[in-house]
Structure 1
Amino acid sequence: MSRRPHMGVWLLRAAALLGGMLLGLSAQASTPVGPVRDAQAADRAAFDAMVDATVARYRLPGIAVGVIEDGQVVYTRTVGETVAGSGDPVTRDTLFKIASNSKAMTASVLARLVQAGRLDWDAPVVRYLPDFAMHDPWVTRHMLVRDLLVHNSGLPEGGGDLMLWPEPNLFTRADILGGLRHIKPAYGFRAGYAYDNLLYVVAGEVAAAAGGAPYEELVRRELFQPLGLSRCRVGEFHLDQAGSVAQPHMRKGDGNVVIRRDEAVVPAITMAAAGGIRCSLDDMLAWARNWLDPTPQQLQWLGTGQRRALWTARTPMPIPQRRRDWDNTHYYAYAFGFRLADVDGQWTVSHTGTLGGMYSAMMLLPDRRSGFVIMINGDGDAARTVLAEVLLKHFTAPGQGRDIDSYADELARDAAAPSRSRAPDISGRRPVAAREMARWLGVWRDPWFGEVAICPAGDGVEFQAAKSPSMEAPVSRLGDRYLVHWDEARADVDAWLDFAGEGNARTLRMAKVDPDGDFSSDYEDLAFTWVRGCE
């Protein structure tokens, strides 16, 4: 039967966090009172209604959902297709990109190495990666392995993400290790929170150095194999040998169109440790149950000490107003690859994943040994938000009265508010002729992103990034500013191009046209100088 958390324990945890202390949150739950029960028919019907309403409201191409109660999988549902219009159904074995839900898996590989005595959370990163360097040499010397996982390094939000996305690109992990020293900090080391991905890539390389094998091999050896996650994939694989694989989509008109379709050979990718793992619904539910109700064998795989380390609050996070309003949240913190929060007085451990037409969520309520998994292969940001909220309320506030459409309507009203968008209307932009940009034509270089060419192409001017081939677009002008508007299938944030200076002292800065655009389009961290003319 489902059990409510021990409120006294929770209040002590919350008070400790609010007082600035680190929490030691246990992954273990006490023995349940009474037998484990399956979901009642009414519960299954309610879950079906939630999924159906979400798919209908957001016209999703495909979705996979699973619910765990008291350690048992009580509900699974798959709807839609791996490719819209193909007739190939999403199943429990379909692989989805789990994106940043990969971070918990990366952290767990490190925890396994710590447990084996091959890695030390409190060792400096340079012990394992002598060439590692941040912008500040003091930070380089004092950055510990644990600091790589908790988003308090001083890097700007999404700093350096243009070395990871859009895919595919030519940046390597060595490029990331070499580029970090050129990214200027946005705040003091360990002085705040700003989500980053690059340091998870570094963490994967630390694991490889300590574990004596490439990151991808370590994940298979230390995680997939011992936990029986037989469908999960990381690194290169052949599409025709992988079975059912969902492809990412975006909305176009009234339909869904595939973007970034997999090639016959899916390559290993630089950002695997930050967000490059794919898993099926059944494997994600097995992964979740390992945390909620571990077997003796799983406790041998990772003991209580390292489980507690992974779920100890490390960096306080700002609490969004919506989370306060919807969930009555009072604390919110990042641990090692997981987020910790109170929801309606109950402790939750979770993460989400977002990656160009793929959305995932894993929510755990450890004191109840319950939770759920959501995976979507379309424009699913709002869909994930509202479905996760209604599923969460099934546990924390049953019968509270709000349904999918209620939350969806609220999100839609907020999005339509006059003050919501700060993006300008760029429909009046016009193509630029080479003669009017003559002063700025040439090859420009940023110390971590590399070279971009702004050169004549046909009747106009083309922007092309050397190591990110997807970042290619005609240059336009809107008012007195230049901009690049990317192919919409790449779903990137458009960028301003702001030039200054004379001769060899010319500079180029970039900025998001939509200042509220995705932080991974971190144009503001780039600083180009002119290096040579166009060939």
Structure 2
Amino acid sequence: MPIALKPRLLLAAALGLGCTLAHAATPGAETAALDKIVDATVARYRLPGIAVGVIENGQVVYTRTVGETVAGSGRKITPQTLFKIASNSKAMTTALLGRLVDAGKLRWDDPVTKYLPQFRMHDPWVTANMRVADLLTHSSGLPEGGGDLMLWPEPNAFTRADIIHGLAFIKPGYGFRSRYQYDNLLYVVAGEVAVAAGGASYETLMRREVFEPLHLDRCQVGAWKRDAVGNVAQPHRRDNGRNVAIGEDAAEIPAITSAPAGGIRCDLEDMLGWARNWLVPTPAQLTWLSPAQRQVLQAPHMLIPVSEQRRAWDNTHVMAYGYGWRMADVDGEWNVWHTGTLNGMYSMLSLLPDRRSGFVFMINGEAGDARTVLGEVLTKHFTAPGDSRGVDWYADALEQRAKQRSPASSTPDTAAQQPVSAAGLARWRGRYRDPWFGDITLCPRDGKMYFAAAKSPTLTGTVMRLGDRYLVHWNDSADLDAWLDFHAAAGGQPIALRMAKLDPQGDFSSDYEDLDFQRVGGCR
């Protein structure tokens, strides 16, 4: 039997959620149906590679791998291929914290400053009242994706100490505990709380307290050697109709600051083992993490607004965030899940606890819509087996929604942009500083003006002019290009620079809007 999650069961009772089982099917017929779903997704979105696994009533009933670790390499993806699981790492971080709670080394209601005396938020009252639990529910007051430029794009030179220091300078976007706004920085802080309570590095604790007892033998965190581990998928982007590998790993893979929020890699076999630990825990696994802490992690703690799409597709009434997990009612059943997104890598882990069923998949390509569609169709495989809407129906629906977006929300046409000459931007040249992001320079090179971030080396680009506005076009980064808005302050104050995404609907982790640069010196 699945573990009883009291808050979940109370909410389910209030909603009248059912737990009707899917129609029975022969193994061969079910495999063929799942193959059809995967094949249709790969074909529709021309994915470079994917690994998929399905669990029914606690047993793995289906696995499928398609494509290559690097497009055109001939190296096939297998169930042992490592993928970046991105924000699916958050549930592993909260499980680590749950282990520390079970051990009496930590309490969810402890103030963060008990473990990290240097911790500061923008508001001193919030600093004093921020609990360990508040780090995990995306309700701290940080704007959506606030400070993510200290994590991505990688590589960069920001440390976890830099992040803890920088939080004090990020202005809140809403009231503390008043609403849900997704952030990543506080999961990095949560990892440092684990370090203080557990007496070892985050990477050591994750290996010792999570990977080893659960036999997640190929999951990787921290520094490791690519060729010694082997079979590692690389991210891709679409370029002129082709899948092109980007940001490929070097032989020595370094530890990364973002690990507690989104820096773990795992293969399909380990992710299925991780999922089964939640659906059908063994007696040893219930000793590893107590039923009480399992209830806490997957209970609703912060409500999330339900989108029109979820209401229409899934008849969802309530959506919430736990500790590292999202949850909602879907077609009258309770669903606990999370997704992961990094440049060129997408993943999803989804559980239907009342069925002891679920699925996981990982993709090494541009796959935002593909993940939405595949996740929906695999969910319907359980919750609405008679649903005739397949991959193409949901894909068409997404495309139609995209076409209906307001023109104001789309990226402006940049075909007419031109590089700005050094002389044309001479008034604004110099070194600028933001209190959490640090220094950038706007200085001439080869007759043009270049933007360069001191701690984020891929954020280097040419300053362009488009109409009467300036923007920076990044040379190598996959991050979104950004507007540059200069302001001459009155009273002899330093010149200010603000930034914004060209596409207002772009990824929130490109949080240029939270930057507030002041000129602090000239070009050297």
Mapped pair 1:242 → 2:240: no
In the superposition, relative to structure 1, how do residues 145 and 456 fare at CA in structure 2: closer, same or farther (>3 Å)? Answer: same
- 1:164–1:321 distance in 2 versus 1, CA, 3 Å: same
Question: Structure 1, unaligned stretches of length 5 or more?
Answer: 19-24
CA distance in 2, matches of 1:131, 1:145: 15
Of 49, 53, 62 in structure 1, the residue corresponding to residue 40 of structure 2 is 53
Out of 419, 427, 435, the residue aligned to residue 439 of structure 1 is: 427
Q: Equivalents in 2 of 1:138, 1:9: separation in Å?
A: 29
Partner of residue 201 from structure 1, selected from 159, 163, 188: 188
Cα 1:85–1:238 shift into 2, 3 Å: same
> 2: CA distance between counterparts of 1:76 and 1:309?
30
Paired amino acid for 1:457: R
Residue in 1 that maps onto 2:201: 214
Q: Distance in 2 between matches of 1:398 and 1:102?
A: 30
* 2:462 counterpart residue number: 474
- Indicate whether 1:462 and 2:460 are aligned: no
Conserved? CA contact 1:311–1:338, under 8 Å: yes
SS state at 2:299 partner: coil
Pick aligned residue for 1:68 from 24, 36, 55: 55
Change (3 A) 1:362 1:456: same
Report the CA distance between 1:297 and its aligned residue: 0.5
Tell whether 2:328 aligns with 1:341: yes
CA distance in 2, matches of 1:55, 1:114: 42
Contact 1:148 1:202 in 2 (8 A): yes
Offset, 1:419: 2.1
Note if contact 2:148-2:509 (Cα within 8 Å) is conserved in structure 1.
yes
Question: 1:144 Cα deviation (Å)?
Answer: 0.3
Whole-Å Cα distance in 2 between the matches of residues 350 and 39 of structure 1? 27
Q: Share of identical aligned residues, percent? A: 64
- Deviation readout 1:214-259 (Å, 9 max, x if unpaired): 0010000100000000010000000011120000000001211111
Pairing 1:499–2:497 present? no
Give the deviation of 1:411 after TM superposition.
Answer: 1.0
Please point out which of 494, 500, 522 is paired with 2:511.
522
Q: Secondary structure at the match of 2:192?
A: helix
151 and 39 in structure 1: CA distance in 2 versus 1, 3 angstrom threshold: farther
C-alpha distance in 2 between matches for 1:10 and 1:164:
33
RMSD between aligned residues: 2.2
CA deviation string 1:356-381 (max 9, x = no partner) = 00000000000000000010000111
1:513 paired with 2:513, answer: no
Q: State how many pairs are aligned.
A: 517
Counterpart of 1:505, as a letter, is: P
Distance 1:188 1:418 in 2: 29
Q: Distance in 1 between matches of 2:460 and 2:361?
A: 33
Asked if the contact 2:192–2:202 (Cα under 8 Å) also holds between the matched residues in 1, the reply is: yes
The aligned residue for residue 299 of structure 1 is 286
| Aligned-pair CA distance for 1:416 | 2.5
Query: Counterpart of 1:193 in 2: which secondary structure?
Result: coil
Question: 2:474 maps to which residue?
Answer: 486
Match of 1:353 in 2: 340
Distance, in Å, in 2 between the alignment partners of 1:386 and 1:279 is 23
User: What one-letter code is carried by the residue in structure 1 that aligns with 2:336?
Assistant: V
Aligned 1:107-118 pairs, distance under 5 A: 107-118=94-105
Superimposed CA distance per residue, residues 131-178 of structure 1 (whole angstroms, 9 cap, x where no aligned partner): 000001111010000000000000000000000000000000000010
Name which of 112, 120, 126 aligns with 1:139. Answer: 126
CA 198–418 in structure 1, closer or farther in 2 if over 3 Å, else same: closer
State whether residues 504 and 531 of structure 1, in contact with CA within 8 Å, keep that contact through their aligned partners in structure 2. no
Matching of residue 127 in structure 1 with residue 114 in structure 2: yes
405, 415, 418: which one pairs with 1:430? Answer: 418
**Does residue 449 of the first structure (1) align with residue 447 of the second (2)?**
no
Question: Judging changes above 3 Å, is the alpha-carbon distance between structure 1 residues 505 and 329 closer, same or farther for their aligned structure 2 residues?
Answer: same
What's 1:414 paired with? 401
What's the TM-score, normalizing by structure 2?
0.95
Q: Counterpart of 2:171 in 1: which secondary structure?
A: coil
1:490, CA displacement in angstroms? 2.8
Partners of 2:141 and 2:175 within 8 A in 1: yes
Task: Measure, in 2, the Cα distance between the counterparts of 1:525 and 1:341.
Answer: 31
Letter in 1 for 2:449: V
- Supply the distance in 2 between the matched residues of 1:10 and 1:499 (Cα, whole angstroms): 50
The CA distance in 1 between the partners of 2:10 and 2:164, in whole Å, is 40
Q: 2:217 aligns with which of 203, 225, 230?
A: 230
Give ranges in structure 2 of 5+ residues lacking alignment: none
Matches within 5 A, 1:141-290: 141-290=128-277
* 1:21 counterpart residue number: none
Q: Give the C-alpha shift of residue 412 in structure 1.
A: 1.4
